[in-house]
């Protein structure tokens, strides 16, 4: 159980609150981790009251795993609602009085709104002295849309909350497999000696989704895949793979190492953007067995150049990783929902086997984030039985669900309670966000300077053919996790 807290969700009726945050809190509640006196306060502009908000939450939770009527009702007793506009003072006195009722509680202000509102919300939280006591603020991504706007937001938040009170969330860091990467790399003597450019050929990070942009297209069209997924989630995964061993799991020990990786990323700009990146936009096609419209039709704007797919060949300029490409790709309306990291090792230096034994394939370590979280290590072995020495490439396969018999908690469950506990290890520090924008900004600028439209790809395909060419030019292929 954590200390009693009041958790306030700005954007309390929004997609993230409804789909992720409230179910995550409910799951922690049924596991007995949330003290009875804790309160969860939804804030939005809609004129709801506690009961009508609870009705919405009841409906959402009714569809979540572990839904149980009595437990949902018990949870709802802790839920409140206040209608507030971040840009007007009306209602803030009453809200401050509500929070003031339990001054000893930890206060968490979760800003799950558009980032344009972060400045106003924090300004008012400061004005009404809600930043006092044991208070923390959680900032949802995207933090700005470039370095300048991120700095403006961080400066404004920083005038009200210290860096130690500021939790910039990247929910990928709360995923089990990502944390398991820490355990795997630093809890086993086996991998670290091989974890460098002498032994690793390349790394692939894929986050593919079958869904389109759906009802988020007005947000998405201003963001695009590089801002929505790469600048944050995928770079964070890259950092976890590439960072030097931190001396401990202390928040700054880990974040210092991640920052060094971000600062070592090779610059991509107009001079090399065409060789190192591919951006795509989906057209009509078939996804999840159904015909789906193209991005422009969904958006109702035929001129948008927003990318729904991106592939990048990233490189890290330091001793450990020089010469090891990190191929990154992500997109909407791809054939499968898969997030995985593939570490491909170099081939053996010399083969002692005859040609009819079969080909020697690279060892690959595959960390699957979703679905079916687990780890696979592809090895070469002898096919059992007589008939000569025939080589086979097979995985040592550990599915977490099978191995531990438990389903994985959603990333937000872990992260929300880490905020309450005041542990920022799995959150981004301001300088990390800035370093990530310093790398992503010039790519965005180069795309926009080129004036070129993203390459079209059919919904249900693996993106534009140029993304395949991006890796094949180097004599490599995107992993299908089947060799």
In terms of Cβ atoms closer than 10 Å to its own Cβ (0-12, 13-18, 19+), residue 320 is middle
Number of residues that bind ligand BG6 (CB under 6 A): 4
> Which lies closer to ligand BG6 via its Cβ, residue 145 or residue 171?
171
> b or e along 448-477 (b: 16 or more beta carbons within 10 Å of the residue's beta carbon)?
eeeeeebbebbbbbbbbeebeebbeeeebe
Distance CA 12, CA 14 (A): 6
Minimal CA–CA distance to 378: which of 201, 210, 178? 201
| Interaction pattern, residues 452-481, with ligand BG6; x per rule: CB under 6 A | ------------------------------
In the complex with ligand BG6, the residue whose CB is nearer, 209 or 418, is: 209
| Nearest distance, CB of residue 388 and ligand BG6, angstroms | 45
| Active site residue ranges | 233
Stretch 217-246 residues interacting with ligand BG6 (CB under 6 A) = 228
Q: Which residue number, 92 or 167, has a Cβ lying nearer to ligand BG6?
A: 167
The site map against ligand BG6 for 331-370 (x = CB under 6 A) is --------x-------------------------------
- Our CB check for ligand BG6 shows the closer of 72 and 153 to be 153
To ligand BG6, the closest distance from the beta carbon of 115 in angstroms equals 12
Closest separation in Å from C-beta 100 to ligand BG6 = 33
Q: Which residues contact 246 (CB under 8 A, 6 or more apart)?
A: 253, 254, 256, 257
Taking the mean position of all CA atoms in its chain, how far away is CA 91? 34
Distance separating alpha carbons of residues 29 and 36, to the nearest angstrom: 9
Q: Which residue is nearest to ligand BG6 (CB)?
A: 228
Nearer to ligand BG6 by Cβ, of 228 and 307: the residue is: 228
Would you say 234 and 141 are in contact if contact means Cβ atoms under 8 Å apart?
no
The owner of tokens 């010039």 is 442
Assess contact for 244 and 420: CB atoms under 8 A.
Answer: no
Interface of this chain with ligand BG6, residues 136 to 175, rule: CB under 6 A: 171
Q: Please, what is the minimum distance in Å from the beta carbon of residue 209 to ligand BG6?
A: 6
Q: How far is the CB of 316 from ligand BG6 (least distance, A)?
A: 23
Of residues 169-188, those binding ligand BG6 (CB under 6 A): 171
Cβ proximity to ligand BG6, 177 vs 339, nearer residue: 339
Q: Residue 131 or 339: which CB sits closer to ligand BG6?
A: 339
Does 209 participate in binding ligand BG6 (rule CB under 6 A)? yes
Distance of closest approach, residue 339 Cβ to ligand BG6, in angstroms: 6
CB of 20 to ligand BG6, least distance (A): 8
Q: What sign for the dihedral angle of Cα 283, 327, 208, 17?
A: negative
Binding site for ligand BG6 (CB under 6 A): 171, 209, 228, 339
């Amino acid at each position: 159980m954590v200390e009693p807290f009041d958790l306030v969700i700005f954007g309390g009726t929004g997609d993230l609150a409804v789909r992720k945050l409230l179910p995550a809190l409910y799951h922690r509640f049924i596991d007995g981790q949330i003290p009875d006196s804790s309160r969860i306060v939804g804030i939005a502009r809609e004129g709801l009251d506690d009961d009508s908000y609870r009705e919405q939450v009841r409906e959402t939770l009714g569809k979540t795993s572990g839904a149980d009527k009595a437990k949902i009702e018990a949870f709802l007793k802790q839920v409140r609602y206040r209608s507030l506009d971040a840009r007007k003072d009306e209602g803030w006195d009453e809200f401050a009085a509500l929070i003031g009722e339990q001054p000893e509680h930890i206060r968490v202000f979760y800003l799950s709104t558009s980032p344009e509102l972060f400045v106003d919300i924090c300004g008012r939280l400061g004005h009404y002295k809600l930043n006092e006591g044991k208070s923390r603020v959680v900032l949802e991504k995207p933090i700005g849309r470039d370095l300048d706007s991120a700095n403006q937001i961080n400066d404004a938040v920083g005038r009200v909350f210290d860096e130690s009170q500021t939790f910039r969330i990247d929910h990928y860091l709360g995923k089990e497999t990502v944390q398991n990467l820490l355990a795997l790399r630093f809890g086993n003597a086996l991998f670290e000696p091989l974890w460098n450019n002498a032994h690793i050929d390349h790394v692939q990070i894929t986050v593919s989704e079958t869904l389109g942009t759906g009802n988020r297209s007005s947000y998405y069209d201003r963001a695009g895949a590089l801002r929505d997924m790469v600048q944050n989630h995928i770079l964070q995964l890259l950092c976890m793979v590439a960072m030097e061993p931190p001396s401990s799991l202390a928040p700054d020990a880990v974040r210092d190492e991640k920052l060094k990786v971000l600062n070592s990323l090779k610059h991509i700009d107009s001079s090399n953007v065409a060789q190192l990146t591919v951006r795509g936009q989906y057209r009509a096609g078939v996804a999840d067995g159904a015909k789906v419209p193209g991005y422009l039709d969904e958006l109702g704007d035929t001129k948008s150049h927003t990318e729904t797919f991106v592939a990048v060949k990233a490189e890290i300029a330091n001793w450990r990783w020089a010469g090891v490409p990190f191929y990154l790709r992500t997109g909407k309306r791809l054939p499968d929902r898969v997030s995985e990291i593939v570490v491909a090792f170099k081939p053996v230096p010399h083969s002692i086997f005859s040609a009819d034994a079969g080909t020697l394939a690279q060892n690959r370590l595959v960390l699957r984030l979703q679905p079916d979280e687990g780890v696979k290590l592809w090895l070469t072995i002898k096919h059992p039985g007589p008939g000569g020495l025939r080589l086979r490439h097979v995985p040592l396969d550990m599915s977490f669900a099978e191995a531990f018999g438990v389903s994985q908690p959603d990333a937000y469950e872990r992260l929300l309670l880490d905020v309450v506990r005041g542990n920022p290890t799995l959150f981004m520090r301001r300088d990390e966000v800035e370093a990530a924008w310093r790398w992503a900004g010039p790519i965005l600028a180069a795309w926009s300077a080129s004036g070129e439209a993203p390459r079209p790809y059919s919904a249900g395909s693996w993106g534009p053919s140029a993304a395949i060419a991006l890796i094949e030019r180097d004599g490599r292929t995107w992993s299908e996790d089947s060799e």
